[in-house]
A and B are shown apart, each in its own frame.
Chain A
Amino acid sequence: MRKTVLIPTDFTVKSLNLVKSALNANENCQLEIIILHGLYLPDSITEMLFFRKKEAIRKLENPAFEKSCQLLLSKYGSRIESLGVDLFSGYNRGAFENYLEGNRVDEIYAFSDHDFKPCHKRSFDLMPLIEKTSVHLTKVKWVDHGRRHDLDRNQLAALFFGHFSPS
């Protein structure tokens, strides 16, 4: 079986735990994973002119994030059909629904204790849009083993030392 899964991200390593949970929840599925970040398009004409999606994603990604993607690929390589980062820049629910339909998204995974931190001045939280869609949404709770430090959000360590609990 094949499924397309959408995961909202703020380009922290912690958000990639959702990939883990999606893979664990779909044991015998090939997954196409879309890691989606909400980013409004720039307002000025010159910026618009030189706006390239790939370039924008490259700037938003940090080494720890990239390394974590590599880690996940080396662990789940055979089950991940594709793992891609994408930007969403629509304003309303209709646009989001269109995006989901266009990419044939079957499921969305998100944290229940969601703490979005914008990583760019035009970043925005996708959660309000996700909550309202018709696509099946699975909320997961990530429980850290031991004490949590906030610094870890964007360290490779955020990918380990924890488990999911049904919320």
Chain B
Amino acid sequence: MKTQNKIVYVLLTIFFSYTLLFSGFIYYSISNYAFTDFYKRLEIRAITTAKSQLENEGEGNIIRELRQEYLEVLPDEEIKMYKLPDNGDWQGIRELGRFRDGFIEEILEDGTSMYNDRRTFFYGTTYTTVGKATYLVTISAENYFITHHVHYLRNLLFTSLGIAFVIIFVVAFLFTRKYIQPINDIIEKVKEISSENLHLRLNQQSKNDDTISQLSQTFNDMLNRLETSFETQKNFISNASHELNTPLTSIIGEADVTLSKVRRPEEYIMSLQTILEEAEKLDKKTKALLMLAQTGFDGKRQKFQMLRADQLIMDVKDTVEKIYPGSKISIDFSLLPENPYRLKINANEALLHLALSNIILNGCKYSNFSPVHVALGVSDGKVIIIVKDEGIGIPDSEMKYIYDPYFRASNTENHEGYGIGLPLARNIVRMHRGELVVNSTENKGTTVQITLPCFFTNQEINDGKAEQIVKAYREGRASQVSGNI
């Protein structure tokens, strides 16, 4: 059964049974009240009639007047009075036979008795006059209220039940549709995402923390992680296939040329030296690339840890120089903050290393190894890393596609690549709750600005709590490590 229908049925059952119970209660109490009330009215009539007819003139007249003036005549009202014989033998009075069995006995025993025969209500009582004569007074009348008002009430309740049913149904339907719709949207969108188009994301309508937004947020986070792990591998293959080729080619070429004829020993030494140099370069590159590929994605949870941003930049510079020995990277630390705790970020070192080195490698590659400038600064709770190159830039019209996997700008023909680096970098930065902004002018250069949240808030640094936290953090890690051993 569809969830929507299920919810509609449940809501319908609950609210309808509630309404049913409620109207049943109203009907029961009103009709019950009508019965009691009507017997009361009959009693008054019986007593006043008996008084006015059986007592002496003066008193009786007043009561008769009162009765005529204030008590309306009930429909089919009929009052009878029978003088009871002194011996109590009432069986002789023939007319009493038309009442229900047991009616008269009850009157004689309890003083009053009542019953109803469908519409007609009967009430009987005894009346003792001043002259000690006992009379049996019976009154019968049609209960107009029961016959008309209560029926009307019943119909009214049934109609309102019907209306309530419709309203509840419509409300439940609309309500569930409103709340199920976003989930259906998410399902539709998730169906579209496969390993081919992992870069798609669910759109989050609102920033608040309702369950639906959290669900799409969780999905997006998961997709980020998935995509990153996919791309990490592709990135390695892409890098490896391009970067390892060049030294290999020169090694093969050198060996080939040397072996083409018999040469002097000096020449062999020379060429072997060249081969050794190239092989060493190859070794360095392979190691650097493998280091990049060994990200936290070994199928386990990614480990985030406290990290110094300036240290990270120095490490990345090292790696990039190993992969591109000809690269020129200048680092501008002129605006490094006074307080080193402001430089701490919470990051997965391997992944962030990969992201940053991809951006710097791109900077080197697409500027034909002219200098790449890297700067680091800290603003309010944010670590800002700026990478600026003087390369070929990105055409304005293509800026919106730069995060699509496998997209390569139209001016990159002379440079090898797969178009994986930047989307990967952005994914990684996103996983760190950061932001990556690219500004570029064609043929002039590109500036990439990465903003990452600081580990400490301003408050913590100003209060001097950072030191304690770092200490506690180190101890925690140490115990974790020893625990693992």
- A156/B386 contact (C-beta < 8 A), A71-B335, A161-B373 known: yes
List residues of chain B with CB within 8 A of the CB of A133.
none
Q: A67-B384, A71-B384, A75-B337 are in contact. Are A155 and B447 (CB under 8 A)?
A: yes
- What is the minimal beta-carbon distance from A72 to any residue of chain B, in angstroms? 7
Please determine whether A147 and B445 come into contact, CB atoms closer than 8 angstroms: yes
A146 touches B378 (CB 8 A): no
Give the total number of A-B pairs whose CB atoms are below 8 A apart.
Answer: 85
Complex CA distance for A53 and B298, rounded to whole angstroms? 56
A143 CA to B481 CA, complexed, in Å: 49
- Name the residue on A nearest B376 (C-beta): A160
The residue on A at minimum CB distance from B343 is A74
Q: Which of B339, B379, B441 contacts A71 (CB 8 A)?
A: B379
Chain B CB within 8 A of A78 CB = yes
**In chain A between 45 and 102, which residues have their CB closer than 8 angstroms to a CB of chain B?**
67-68, 70-72, 74-78
Which residues of chain A are within 8 angstroms of B388 by Cβ–Cβ distance?
146, 157, 160-161
The reply to whether A160 and B335 form a contact with Cβ atoms under 8 Å apart is yes
| Residues on the A chain within 8 Å of B373, using CB | 145-146, 160-161
Asked if B375 lies at the interface with its beta carbon under 8 angstroms from chain A, I say yes
Using A78-B338, A160-B375, A160-B377 as known contacts, say yes or no to A146 and B390 having CB atoms under 8 A apart.
Answer: yes
A72 in contact with B335 (CB, 8 Å): yes
The distance in angstroms between the C-alpha atoms of A20 and B334, with both chains bound, is: 10
Decide if A152 is an interface residue (CB 8 Å cutoff).
Answer: yes
CB distance from A165 to the nearest CB of B (A): 15
> B370 touching A70 by the CB < 8 A rule?
no
Q: Tell me the bound Cα distance from A113 to B439 in angstroms.
A: 25
* 347-391 of chain B: CB within 8 A of chain A: 370-371, 373, 375, 377-380, 382, 384, 386, 388, 390
Interface flag for B444 (CB, 8 Å): yes
CB distance from A145 to the nearest CB of B (A): 6
Residues of chain A within 8 A (CB-CB) of B371 are: 145-146
Question: Is A151 an interface position by the 8 A CB rule?
Answer: yes
A121 at the interface (CB under 8 A from B): no
Taking chain A's interface residues, is the majority helix, strand, or loop, or is none over half, making it mixed? helix
In the complex the two chains form, is B337's CB within 8 Å of A146's CB? no
Within the assembled complex, what's the spacing in Å between the Cα atoms of A160 and B330? 11
Question: Measured between alpha carbons, how far is A156 from B332 in the docked complex, in Å?
Answer: 13
Residue of B nearest to A147 (CB): B390
Interface residues on A, range: 20 to 34
Residue in A149, A151, A155 whose beta carbon sits within 8 Å of that of B449 in the complex: A155
Does B342 reach chain A (CB closer than 8 Å)?
yes
Task: Give the contacting residue for A74; candidates B377, B386, B449; CB below 8 A.
Answer: B377
Instruction: Name the distance in Å between A78's Cβ and chain B's nearest Cβ.
Output: 6
Question: Closest residue to B454 on the A side, CB-wise?
Answer: A74
Contact B375 A75 (CB under 8 A): no
Q: Which residues of B contact A159 (CB under 8 A)?
A: 335, 375, 377
Q: How far is the CA of A67 from the CA of B380 in the complex (A)?
A: 7
Query: In whole Å, how far is B89's beta carbon from the nearest beta carbon of chain A?
Result: 107
B449 contacts which chain A residues (CB < 8 A)? Answer: 155-157
Question: Are A161 and B375 closer than 8 Å at their CB atoms?
Answer: yes
Complex interface: chain A residues within 8 A of B335 (CB): 20, 71-72, 74-75, 159-160
Contact status of A146 and B444, CB under 8 A, knowing A72-B335, A77-B338, A160-B332: no
Contacting residues, chain A, for B21 (C-beta < 8 A)? none
User: Please, which residue of chain B has its CB at the minimum distance from the CB of A162?
Assistant: B332
Interface contact B334-A74, CB-CB below 8 Å: no
Check B379–A152 contact: CB distance below 8 A: no
B332 touches A161 (CB 8 A): yes
Return the 10 tightest CB-CB contacts between A and B, nearest first.
Answer: A70-B379, A160-B375, A74-B337, A71-B377, A149-B444, A70-B380, A161-B373, A160-B332, A75-B335, A74-B378
Known A70-B380, A75-B378, A160-B335; 4 more pairs at CB < 8 Å: A67-B382, A75-B338, A77-B338, A156-B449
Give me 7 A-to-B residue pairs in the complex whose CB atoms sit less than 8 angstroms apart, sorted by A's number: A67-B382, A74-B335, A74-B342, A75-B336, A77-B339, A152-B439, A155-B439
